[in-house]
Amino acid sequence: KVLILDFGSQYTQLIARRVRELNIYSEIKPYNNLPEDLSAFQAVILSGSPYSVRAADAPHPNLADIKGKKPLLAICYGAQYLAHFNGGNVAPSATREYGRANLSMVRDNEPFLANVHLNSQVWMSHSDTIKQLPSNGVLLASTTDVENAAFRLEGEDTYGIQFHPEVYHSTDGSQLLENFLVNIAGLKQDWTPDAFIETTVAELKQQIGKEKVILGLSGGVDSSVAAMLLHKAIGEQLHCIFVNNGLLRKNEFSQVLEQYQGMGLNVKGVDASARFLEALKGESDPETKRKIIGRVFIEVFDDESHQVENATWLAQGTIYPDRIESVSASGGPSAVIKSHHNVGGLPDYMKLKIVEPLQLLFKDEVRRVGKNLDMAPEILGRHPFPGPGLGIRILGDITAEKVRILQEVDAIFIEGLKKNGLYDKVWQAGAMLLPVNSVGVMGDERTYEKCVALRAVESTDGMTADWVNLPYEFLQKVSNDIINKVKGVNRVVYDISSKPPATIEWE
């Protein structure tokens, strides 16, 4: 496997994903927390960083156990770090270099550059540049503005590149990574979804033995794939709980429950709609609503998990991005792992041992594993949906009637996206019920009814997002359908705000 040392670059996760797309397993570790046992890693990649190597507080880890001992590829800051500490010279560039550039020189007969073309586009993002290579440096490639765009150190398997092979804009980027990992480091490309399924299922069997596992299904991709892996490993010992909080999409509870049962899962559907609605009654503050929904969910889940006798494990659909120890933006040693449990006063089910079968996977890998487990495309391609559901899409207080209205509106919108081949082009979509009445006219009658906002966004991880330019004809048709079919709504607007500064959900 490959070790990726993170110096805090925004692209570090992309490096890991590119490597894995080559079917080679990789792990990210913060530069200031090197694994004690390096023997498991056959190659090391150094990431970029927002720092200048010349800054006193920049990451300067000791690479004595790595450099010259294992194949090493240093990217951007990593390459500058190599140069700086091996007798080269790094200085500020005359101009900051961001964006595309083309290779204007590529040295012949270098295994590292096999099939990398002259004029190949590469992506730059740096403000320092390597003015002079270390004395054992061999220049491998240049761009018009950057002479030392790629180099190696003579006598060792050490490579440095100023540009970013991990971003898609670097057209031969994957080829370069493959050259390094396969040709130079000799890694095998055997980390496939099937191999992952086989080893994970074997490990889960071993880990869990004859004990019982509880898992909360949400209808989303992660919990569903986690459930299928566990099901494959331990069958009926897996007890799934699927809670209807009354804030799901129209018919979602029954449809998804049926789908789960069709997949052979041992799943109990718990309709707690009334309990949630009762607890939310009269509350219109967004944060309080979220807290109420969270609390009631825990209560319901706790009650239900007690029904499963002698359960000892709680399974969660946590994925790799939730677990990567990140180098904080300030570069400090504050490696943080996201924690979603508050300590003290844990509900009983949280006292169970935790098993997280997807903890090594990125989202796209979860989908590929699901596909190889023969799961339905409707489950694997489902848009993200927030835990508090429609509760944070109904602005103001929540009533059964408002939920019904929003479910109808949302269903027309989502069905429309599907029918017009737009669903898979959108990362997430939904409707918001606004606490606004406006005047309309239907037939000869004056109306004074609700307004809904439609939202459809493009995103990769939900951290940033942009609104989708849906065709006007589509919006026109959906708007017409909503106003004609959903009683209580006489106005539809489309949300054209990006995140930031807006968020995806309205609450």
Binding residues are 218-224
Provide the minimum distance between the beta carbon of 405 and ligand XMP in the complex, in angstroms, as a whole number: 20
Per CB under 6 A, 219 contacts ligand XMP:
no
Q: Write the DSSP assignment of 92-119 as a string of letters.
A: EEEEEEEEEEEEEEE-SS-GGGTTPPTT
Chain positions 287 to 326 lying near ligand XMP, rule: CB under 6 A, are 290
Residue in 33, 28, 178, 150 with CA at minimum distance from that of residue 83: 150
Neighbours of 99 (CB within 10 A): 8
Cα–Cα dist 170/125, whole Å: 12
Q: Cis omega before residue 386 (within 30°)? A: no
Stretch in the footprint of ligand XMP (CB under 6 A) among 9-17, 29-37, 469-477, 498-506: 498-506
Residue closer to ligand XMP, measured from CB, 46 or 227: 227
**374: its two tokens:** 């023969």
Residue closer to ligand XMP, measured from CB, 200 or 428: 428
Q: Which residue has the tokens 């979804």?
A: 193
Per CB under 6 A, 504 contacts ligand XMP:
yes
DSSP state of 184: I
Residue closer to ligand XMP, measured from CB, 328 or 503: 503
Question: 111 burial class (0-12, 13-18, 19+ CB within 10 angstroms)?
Answer: exposed
Residue closer to ligand XMP, measured from CB, 193 or 388: 388
Give catalytic status of residue 60 as yes or no: no
Residue closer to ligand XMP, measured from CB, 269 or 387: 387
Among 386, 414, 416, 455, interactor with ligand XMP by CB under 6 A:
386
Question: 495 burial class (0-12, 13-18, 19+ CB within 10 angstroms)?
Answer: middle
Strand partners, 439: 448
Per CB under 6 A, 428 contacts ligand XMP:
yes
Per CB under 6 A, 223 contacts ligand XMP:
no
Stretch in the footprint of ligand XMP (CB under 6 A) among 51-59, 87-95, 356-364, 382-390: 382-390
Are the beta carbons of 438 and 489 closer than 8 angstroms?
Answer: no
Cα–Cα dist 480/459, whole Å: 27
**164: its two tokens:** 């970013």
Residue closer to ligand XMP, measured from CB, 319 or 504: 504
Give catalytic status of residue 340 as yes or no: no
Provide the minimum distance between the beta carbon of 483 and ligand XMP in the complex, in angstroms, as a whole number: 25
Provide the minimum distance between the beta carbon of 290 and ligand XMP in the complex, in angstroms, as a whole number: 6
Question: Helix (H, G, I), strand (E, B), or coil: what is residue 43?
Answer: strand
Beta carbons within 8 Å of 336's beta carbon, 6+ residues apart: 325, 326, 328
Per CB under 6 A, 503 contacts ligand XMP:
yes
Per CB under 6 A, 269 contacts ligand XMP:
no
Chain positions 448 to 467 lying near ligand XMP, rule: CB under 6 A, are 462
Residue closer to ligand XMP, measured from CB, 50 or 462: 462
Question: Of the residues 84, 97, 126, 166, which is catalytic?
Answer: 166
Are the beta carbons of 42 and 1 closer than 8 angstroms?
Answer: yes
Give catalytic status of residue 304 as yes or no: no
Cα–Cα dist 279/246, whole Å: 12
Strand partners, 445: 442
Beta carbons within 8 Å of 51's beta carbon, 6+ residues apart: 7, 8, 57, 58, 59, 77, 331
Provide the minimum distance between the beta carbon of 501 and ligand XMP in the complex, in angstroms, as a whole number: 11
Among 30, 78, 193, 388, interactor with ligand XMP by CB under 6 A:
388
Provide the minimum distance between the beta carbon of 193 and ligand XMP in the complex, in angstroms, as a whole number: 25
Feature table: binding site for ATP: 218-224
Per CB under 6 A, 169 contacts ligand XMP:
no
Per CB under 6 A, 387 contacts ligand XMP:
yes
Beta carbons within 8 Å of 469's beta carbon, 6+ residues apart: none
How many chain residues touch ligand XMP (CB under 6 A)? Answer: 11
Stretch in the footprint of ligand XMP (CB under 6 A) among 105-113, 279-287, 313-321, 380-388: 380-388
Catalytic residues: 76, 164, 166
Binding site for ligand XMP (CB under 6 A): 290, 384, 386-388, 428, 462, 499, 503-505
